[in-house]
Structures are given as structure tokens and as C-alpha cells.
Amino acid sequence: MKKLAVLGCGAQSQIFCLNAPKHLGNDYFVTSVCAKNHEHAVELANRVGGRAA
């Protein structure tokens, strides 16, 4: 299993995080999401099953 960390919670990051398992397969997992606004990071991390930073 390969781990991914995402920087930012903008529109492109959200699209990537939500579609990564479908396009990359089950070998990839979003482990953490980092953003300036912690609430946005928590919201996206909860949607993809990762942690917020």
C-alpha cells in the first residue's frame, strides 16, 4: 500500500482525494491532508479517512 499526503484543500485537492482510489486503485491511500485552515483540512480528511494537519 502506498501512502499519499495532500497539501491544500482547494477544489483540485478535493477532486484528487475523492477520485484517487477509483483511478489509482486500492494500492494508494490518503493518509494526511495539510492546509492553512485547519477546519478545511479536518473536513477533507474525514471524507477520505485520513488525518488533518
- 3-class secondary structure, 48: helix
pTM: 0.84
Confidence of residue 52 (pLDDT cuts 50, 70, 90): very high
pLDDT tens figures, 5-46 = 999 999 999 999 989 888 888 888 899 999 999 999 999 999
DSSP 1: -
**Beta-carbon contacts of residue 5 (< 8 Å; ≥ 6 apart):** 30, 31, 32, 33, 34
What angle, 0 to 180 degrees and rounded to 10, lies between the N-to-C axes of helices 38-48 and 11-24?
A: 20
